[in-house]
Amino acid sequence: MAIVKVTDESFEQDVLKAEQPVLVDFWAEWCGPCKQIAPALEQIAQELGDKVTIAKVNIEDSPTTPSRYGVRGIPTLMLFKGGQMASMKVGAMPKAKLLEWLSESGVSASESDAAGAAA
């Protein structure tokens, strides 16, 4: 599944009313660590697209939503389940750490996928 671009206007529909968990990446064009983490998020979207939606909110284009959720630094990653924020991480991290965080939060790949990601 492709990464979903979310705006202030679409946040409620795309994230809060989503059927499955949504990992929201609050980012900006000028943010180096945001660019660093982007390929890992793309891979996770492909690998876990049926279990979690990856959404990106550009804080420059949509400042209301990050403000509402207290985003102070970017990248800030928030996992939403059932319309509620379930977990949050601030800062870039490698794909393996992202998958570990998702797994700890109850979103995980099948056993074979997890073993491949750990290698």
Q: Which residues are catalytic?
A: 31, 34
Q: What burial letters (b/e) apply to 35-51, b meaning 16+ CB within 10 Å?
A: eebbebbeebbebbeeb
Strands 76-81 and 22-27: antiparallel
> Which residues face 54 on adjacent strands?
23
The structure tokens listed for 52 are 């979690």
